[in-house]
Amino acid sequence: MLTAQWLYGITGCLIVALGLRTALLHALLLQRVIGINIMGAGVFLMLIAVAYRGPGVAPDPVPQALVLTGIVVAVSATALALALARRLTAEQNND
Amino acid sequence: MNTTAVLVFDILLVLSLLSLAAAALTTRDAHRSIILFMAFGLVLALAWGRLMAPDVALAEAAIGAGLSGALLLAAVREQPRQTLTAETKAVHGGNDAGLKVILQSVVILLCVGLAATLSWALAHAFDSAPNNALAQAVQENLATSGVSNPVTAVLLNFRAYDTLLELAVLLTAVLGIFALGPARPGYRSAGPVFDSLAHWLVPVLILTAGYLLWVGAHAPGGAFQAGAILAAAGVVLRLSGQRTVGLPQKRVLHIVIAAGVGMFLLVGLSLLVLGRPFLGYPPAWAGGLILLIETAAMLAIAATLLLAFLGGRPQSQRLHGTLQPVTPTLRSGQDAGTITESRNSSEEKRPC
Amino acid sequence: MIDIVSSLLIVSGLGFYLAGSIGLLRLPDLYSRLHALTKADNLGLGLLTAGLTLHAQDLFIAIKLALIWLAVLAASAASAHLIAQHARRRETRT
């Protein structure tokens, strides 16, 4: 309802769409991983926009805690994906 | 606060976010997209600060921009500079150009539909009055939660079960990374300039991590940000050519990695035995228990992120390896303690 | 009065940032780009923090801002050195 909420929320939706397009279509694996990370960032933008309550009012802490959890989970998933990719290329080179 | 100035600032920030994301996702060079992704993460941290989410801003700057970028850069280090050449395009494109165009347009329609659906859901959520029930519940129970930072209270007291599961996700990721191979080859010393930077930077980082852990109870901060900064200290040590990068050796390392989930379970089960609900802290002890859990979680998060940067099982041997480039030969069931594996998988000729 | 001085400092800091970015885009060589970017950005950050220090509520915040500037100075100098060293080694190798 606040202008900032609208602005950042719609930005979050657009960023999710951009990330999904790259995650599905790009040829390089690394860019697909980056695309998934950016999708996550878009979702976080939407959550924090929902949590914002205005300049003088305390924001809602529950979505902020969700986003904090999400950031850590996203980086650990990225790390696992990169380790999988490394092992995959090692196996392909060994054939 | 001049609302027009704030609106202009918001629009500029949103435009930079969109353009950085688009640039990072459509560029053909892997290195360039990683750098743009790090820039995107930093501008996103600005956005979190503007939306009054300082805890999230700290975590995004440390983990989302810093450590994710370092992970990605370490991952592309072994590959030659990858661009979309004609060969890769032919390999991935196949020879059916019509099918490819159809597939691309279907995916783009899907993405546009997703954006539209999300915007509609957002508009629907904003049309109704903001739901303050949870925020009010947090505010009312904050005094008995043991901390005065509401985000920390939600993370470690009211929704402690979710944080336990999150630490379990971290543990699973590091177990997967352990199982997939030995660590990446190390770096050689980069010269006196970087060494002198590391000399004072690493103690300051460790101190800052301890400070963030302590201050998370009453100000923005907490275990996740502190763990990320500790991991950053380890990354700096790794980049300056250190072998052990501050990680403990085999048995102790396993204990440290499992410490996050372990401490949670220990506290929760002890409370169960004492007759309280699982992870239901008594208000008199809540502050101390939260600090205890946060300390263990900080160490576990730091070890996990540092191991993610290393890329695999660390070596506990101190032998210098040979200099010829070898692909690591993986033997199932062996850990990094044997000499053969350390000779095979230790540092290859480092690129200049 | 403080507002005017602080705004002047911040705007001049932004001018230095702009100059550094233009140098990044327009200069021909990696080394000259590094040189322009590092020097201009550090000075711009110094002016920015000086402008913000005038608005600080107490001494501790001012000291923290100065420490931030010093830390960024050291880190950007070290990373510029590393980038130039890497480029130099790659040049002399080929």
| Whether B77 and B157 share a structural domain | no
In a domain, B95, yes or no: no
Decide: helix, strand or coil at residue B30: helix
Residue entry with tokens 């979702």:
A43
Domain extent for B34: 1-83
Instruction: Tell me, yes or no, whether B104 lies in a domain.
Output: no
For residue C51, pLDDT over 50 is answered with: yes
Q: Is the pLDDT of residue B317 over 50?
A: no
Mean pLDDT of B256-262: 92
Q: Which amino acid is at B31?
A: H
Tell whether B79 and B160 lie within a shared domain.
no
pLDDT for the residue B96: 72
Which pLDDT belongs to residue B316? 62
Mean pLDDT of B266-290: 90
Percent of chain B with pLDDT over 70: 84
Q: Is B43 on the interface with A (CB under 8 A)?
A: no
Query: Does position B37 have pLDDT exceeding 70, yes or no?
Result: yes
Instruction: State whether residue B182 is helix, strand or coil.
Output: strand
User: pLDDT category, A90, cuts 50, 70, 90?
Assistant: confident
B195 and B294 in a single domain? The answer is: yes
Chains A and C touch (3+ CB pairs under 8 A): no
Question: Residue A56 above 70 pLDDT?
Answer: yes
Residues B300 and B225 reside in one and the same domain: yes
CA distance C64 to chain B (A): 13
What is the per-residue pLDDT for B92? 53
Of A46, A47, A48, A24, which Cα lies nearest the Cα of A35?
A24
End residue of a domain, out of B44, B64, B83 = B83
Assess A94–B contact: CB distance below 8 Å, yes or no.
yes
Kindly state the average pLDDT of the residues B274-279: 88
Assess whether chains B and A touch, using the rule of 3 or more C-beta pairs within 8 angstroms. yes
pLDDT above 50 (res B166): yes
Nearest Cα residue in chain A from B168: A73
Contact: C90, B191; criterion CB under 8 Å? no
Is it the case that residue C33 has pLDDT exceeding 70?
yes
The model's pLDDT over A24-55, given as tens digits with 9 standing for 90+, comes to 988 888 899 999 999 999 999 999 999 998 88
Task: Look up residue B267 and give its amino acid.
Answer: V
Residue C2's pLDDT is 87
Confidence of residue B248 (pLDDT cuts 50, 70, 90): confident
Residue B65 and residue B161 share a domain:
no
Measured distance between the N- and C-terminal CA atoms of chain C, rounded to whole angstroms: 58
Q: Mean pLDDT across chain B, nearest whole number?
A: 84
| Higher-pLDDT residue of B87, B238 | B238
* Position B274 in a domain: yes
Q: Which of A15, A33, A58 sits opposite B21 (nearest CB)?
A: A15
The answer to whether residue B103 sits within a structural domain is: no
Average pLDDT, chain C: 91
- In this predicted structure, the answer to whether residue B236 has a pLDDT above a threshold of 60 is yes
User: How many domains does chain B fold into?
Assistant: 2
pLDDT of the residue at C13? 95
Q: Answer whether residue B324 is part of any domain.
A: yes
What is the CATH class of A3-94? mainly alpha
Q: Please tell me the predicted confidence (pLDDT) of residue B244.
A: 76
**Helices and strands, number each (H, E), in chain C:** 3, 0
Q: Is A57 exposed, middle or buried (0-12, 13-18, 19+ CB in 10 A)?
A: exposed
C23-32: Cβ within 8 A, 24+ apart: C30/C83, C30/C84, C30/C87, C31/C84, C31/C87
pLDDT in tens, B16-28: 999 999 999 998 8
Mean pLDDT (whole number) for C25-46: 92
Q: Look at residue B241 and tell me whether its pLDDT is greater than 90.
A: no
Query: Which pLDDT score, from 0 to 100, does residue B243 have?
Result: 77
Percent of chain C with pLDDT over 70: 100
Q: Is residue B105 part of a domain?
A: no
Q: What is the dihedral of CA A83, A84, A89, A94, to 10 degrees?
A: 100
Whether residues B151 and B79 share a domain: the answer is no
**Mean pLDDT along residues C79-94:** 88
Mean pLDDT of the A78-82 span: 94
Q: Say whether pLDDT at B298 is over 50.
A: yes
Spatial distance between the Cα atoms of B271 and B280, rounded to a whole number of angstroms: 7
Instruction: Kindly state whether C93 is in contact with chain B, defined as any CB-CB distance less than 8 angstroms.
Output: yes
What pLDDT is recorded for position B324? 36
Per-residue pLDDT, C94 = 72
B330 has a pLDDT exceeding 90: no
pLDDT tens string B68-103: 999 999 998 876 655 555 444 544 555 577 888 898
Counting as contact any 3 or more CB pairs under 8 A, the partners of B are A, C
Range with lowest mean pLDDT among B191-195, B222-226, B315-319: B315-319
Residue A28: what pLDDT? 84
Q: Are residues B192 and B278 in the same domain?
A: yes
Domain annotation covers residue B135? no
Query: Residue B12: closest CA among chain A residues belongs to which residue?
Result: A7
pLDDT at B335: 41
Residue B180 domain flag: yes
B10 touches A7 (CB < 8 A): yes
* The domain boundary residue, chosen from B55, B83, B111: B83
Q: Between chains, do B151 and A64 touch, taking CB under 8 Å as contact?
A: yes
Q: Which among A44, A59, A84 is the nearest to B52, CB-wise? A: A59
Q: Single out the residue in B33, B67, B83 at which a domain terminates.
A: B83
ipTM at complex level: 0.95
The model scores a pTM over 0.90? no
Residue B176 in tokens: 């997967």
B258 or B318, higher pLDDT: B258
